[in-house]
Structure 1
Amino acid sequence: MTDQIGNFVQSNDQALAQEPQLLDAKWDQAISYEAYLEWIDQLLAENKTTGDNHSEAMIHYTVMNRHRMRRIEKYTDLRDDAAAALAEIASPQDWLVLTEAWCGDAAQSIPVMHLMAEQCENVRLRLLLRDEHADLMDRFLYKGKSRSIPRLIVMDSGSRTTLGVWGPRPAEAQKLYESAVQEPDFSYQEVAEELQKWYANDRTEAIQRELTSLLRGIEQNEVRQGEIQQGLQG
C-alpha cells in the first residue's frame, strides 16, 4: 500500500511539473473570443456546430446560444466589485477556456469572461474546444471526474502556473443541476431549460460574483483558490 501511495504521489508530481508546458502549448493553439464567434457563425452557415454531432438538436442549441451571447454582450454591465478586482490584478494573467458551441452554460458565461478581460489590460482571454483537447480537459476535470464545460483556467502569463479554475456553472446553478439529475424521471432537455431560466433571472450576477471572488483569492496569494479547493477536490 505504501508503494502504491508513493507511486501515486510521484505520478501526480510529474503531472504538475508538466502542466506549465502543456498550458503553454495549448495557449498557442487557442483562439480569441472574436475568432471563436466568427467560427461558430461560419459553422452555422454550413448547418454545422463544433464537434462531430451535427444533428438538428445540436445545431438548434448552437443557434440559441449565439442569440444568448449577443444578448449578454449587449445588455451586461460589469459589477463595481468585479471592476475593482480586475483593477487590482498586479501581474498579467491568461484565461484559457475549454468550451463547445452547443454548450448552454458556456454561452451564458464566456461573454462575461470576455467583458471582464476587455476591462483589464493584464488579462488575455482565449478559447479551445474541449473535444479537440481531451488531454488538457482531463487535467482539469470537474471534481476530478467530469468533463463538464465551460472550464476556465486562470494562469500566470509568464510562468504558466495555474492560479485558479472555474466552471462549469455558478454554484447555485450547479445545485439545481445536481438535484435534477437525482430525480427518477430526469430529462436532460427539461433541466437544460430550467438552467436557462435560472441564467435569465440571474442576469450574470452569480458568475460575476464568483469570478470576482476567484480573482481576489489569487491576488491574496491563495494559489489555485476557488476551484482547486472547491472543485477539483470536490
Structure 2
Amino acid sequence: MDFINYHSYFENIVKTDATEQIAPYNDVLYYDYTRLNWSRFNRWLKTGKLTDEIIASVAKITEPQNWLVITEPWCGDAAHVVPFIEMIARLNPNIHLSYELRDAEPFSIDRYLTNGSKSIPKLVIRDATDKDLAVWGPRPADCQKVYDSLLAEKASFDTIKLALQNWYNVNKGQAIQAELNILIASVLG
C-alpha cells in the first residue's frame, strides 16, 4: 500500500471504537497505545526536520529504487521512525515507497527477522528489479542499546516504553537520518 492508504488505515483504527475492532486493536491496551502512536506519528510528520546531510544523500539517487516499510500502527518505534522515512522518500522521485503490515499477507517480515524476532519497523531498499540492496531496522542503534540494557535489567514493559519514548523525543529523528545517510551511501557505492 502507499502512504495515503497506510495513513487512512491507521486513522480508521483510531477513529473506530475499540469494541468494534479486530485483534489486536480490540484489546483496550493495544487500542490506547495505537491512539498515542497516531499522535506521535502525525506530530513528526508536521514538526520533523530533515538534515542537510540526508537531503544531499537522497539527491544522489539517480536510478529507481523501491523502498518497502514493514510496520504496524501499534508499533511504538514505527510511530517515531516511519514519518522520517516517508519524508526522506518524498525528496526524490526515483524512490518508490510502499508499506506492508507485518501481521498480514504477504508476511515479508519473515525474510527480515532481527535476532529471530519480527521486530519492526523494517526498511528494505531494493533496486528497480526488487533485488534487495539494504535493510534497516527496527530502531536506531543508540535506541537499541537503551532497549537492550532495559531488557537485560528485566525492566517492565511500561518502563521500556517510557525510556524509548523519551529517547525519541530528545533525538528528534537525528539518529534515523544519520543511519539512513550511511545506508544510502553504501547502496550508491
Q: Into which bin does the TM-score normalised by the smaller protein fall?
A: over 0.9
Secondary structure of the corresponding residue to residue 127 of structure 1: strand
Amino acid at match of 1:206: A
Q: 2:117: which partner in 1?
A: 146
> Among residues 76, 83, 88, which one is paired with 1:104 in the alignment?
76
Q: 1:219: which partner in 2?
A: 188
User: Is the contact between residue 96 and residue 154 of structure 1 (CA under 8 Å) also seen in structure 2?
Assistant: yes
Query: Hey, what's the Cα distance between the residues in 1 that align with 2:185 and 2:157?
Result: 35
> Among residues 127, 136, 148, which one is paired with 2:99 in the alignment?
127
| Structure 1 residues 54-83: Cα deviation after superposition (integer angstroms, max 9, x where no partner) | 211111111111111111111112111101
What are the within-5 Å matches in structure 2 for residues 23-172 of structure 1? Answer: 31-48=1-18, 52-53=23-24, 54-133=26-105, 135-143=107-115, 145-157=116-128, 159-172=129-142
User: Is the contact between residue 98 and residue 152 of structure 1 (CA under 8 Å) also seen in structure 2?
Assistant: yes
Structure 1 runs of 4+ with >4 Å offset: 48-51
Aligned-CA RMSD value: 1.6
Q: TM-score under structure 1 normalisation?
A: 0.76
> CA 1:62/1:178 → structure 2, altered by over 3 Å: closer, same or farther?
same
> CA 1:90/1:51 → structure 2, altered by over 3 Å: closer, same or farther?
farther
- Residue 173 (str. 1) matches residue 154 (str. 2): no
Query: Hey, what's the Cα distance between the residues in 1 that align with 2:80 and 2:21?
Result: 17
Query: Hey, what's the Cα distance between the residues in 2 that align with 1:199 and 1:120?
Result: 25
Amino acid at match of 1:32: D
Q: 1:205: which partner in 2?
A: 174
Instruction: Name the % identity.
Output: 35
> CA 1:105/1:211 → structure 2, altered by over 3 Å: closer, same or farther?
same
Amino acid at match of 1:219: L
User: Is the contact between residue 14 and residue 38 of structure 2 (CA under 8 Å) also seen in structure 1?
Assistant: no
Work out the number of aligned pairs and report it: 187
User: Aligned-pair distance for 1:47?
Assistant: 2.2
Greater radius of gyration (CA) = 1
| Structure 1 residues 158-211: Cα deviation after superposition (integer angstroms, max 9, x where no partner) | x21100001000000001101111114x21111011100000000000000001
